[in-house]
Amino acid sequence: MKKTFYHNEFTAEFTDERGYFSLTGTVKGSSGAVGKEISNLDSRFDLVNDLHLSDCKTGEPMYSVENALYFAKKGDISALKNHLRISKEKANQIVKDILFKEKQAEKEGKLIMKDEINRIDCLISQIKESMQIKQGVQLKDIYKSLSKIYSLFYSTEQNQEIINTFQKNKYSGSFQSLENKANLMTRSLEKSRINYLKYPLMYTEACLTYIIRKIVDELKPIWKQEAEEVYKIIEETPSDLTVKADISLNDFSEPEKALALAEFLKIDLSIISEISKDTFSAIGQEYYVLTAEEAEKKAGEYINNYIDECLKIPEDILPYFDKAKYRQDMLKLEDKGNLIASYDGKEIQQKGYFIYRIN
């Protein structure tokens, strides 16, 4: 779905074509994601702006959990409120809960980490102890001992390469071969030990994410209702939002230019404002409306500016550079729209005038 709205002070474009709501446009010379400015001028777009970049089917904000957790951890109540579309009081309570749980979870994570690292260190010690040759101990007994130690820590789905060697405690081979297996087990446990050093952070993140996910799940029915309301607003709001005023050609110093622009934009003359004798604004956009002679002069000014500010001509060559000839050649080769129309590079001819959008 795509729909464009024309207002005396802005142009707004709504779309859901990429799977999310998008409200962009042009307001007072600014263009792009100007939904806030649009809603300030017309409150009918308040909810549409609130759901900008939200899923068009569910109304869920983009990266709802990740961004909410980020804002909550920073203590940014305003950003959290706007992101989840909740009250300031609710956002404040979430921030308090998250900051409290963050400290609590960090302590819990450190205790779990300490217990697991102690258990790993104990298992490594047992492996080393098992590898010591004692009188009357056979290799297959060492093998059984290693198998038992390893099964205390890893499930059969983990480190399959090692566990596959323990085939029902059957073993035939040299002590060197058994020692290699013990070393492989030790390295695997040491790797787990390193991973557990990161556990407090991982545990804390998991606890906080769980809190935010619960909140998001509670908000999903509300978000879906809001998404449905957005479609209703878009369908019921007319494309033409302009308000016509009582105005005559005598109100313009260049009435023919104003008429040409009104005809091009397909809008009422009263919506056009004259900024200067060759610059006009309408529906949040600004244009040059020029005669052929004025367009030639304006393009020449841009070329002169380009020569002065962009061309780095060495001083010893400058006396031999024909600025007028360069400008003349540029005017022949270059489309004036590319030089004058700073917004889109287009030149429009209407009623004998040349129109260029500048923002």
Q: What pTM value is reported for the model?
A: 0.62
CA distance 31 to 283: 12
pLDDT at 139: 62
* pLDDT tens readout for residues 261-320: 999 988 888 889 999 999 999 888 899 999 999 998 898 888 888 887 887 778 788 778
Q: What is the pLDDT of residue 338?
A: 87
Cα separation, 151 vs 156, in Å, equals 8
Position with higher pLDDT, 166 vs 247: 247
Residue 341 pLDDT grade (very low, low, confident, very high; cuts 50, 70, 90): very high
What digits encode the pLDDT tens for the residues 7-52? 988 999 999 999 999 999 998 778 899 999 999 999 999 999 999 9
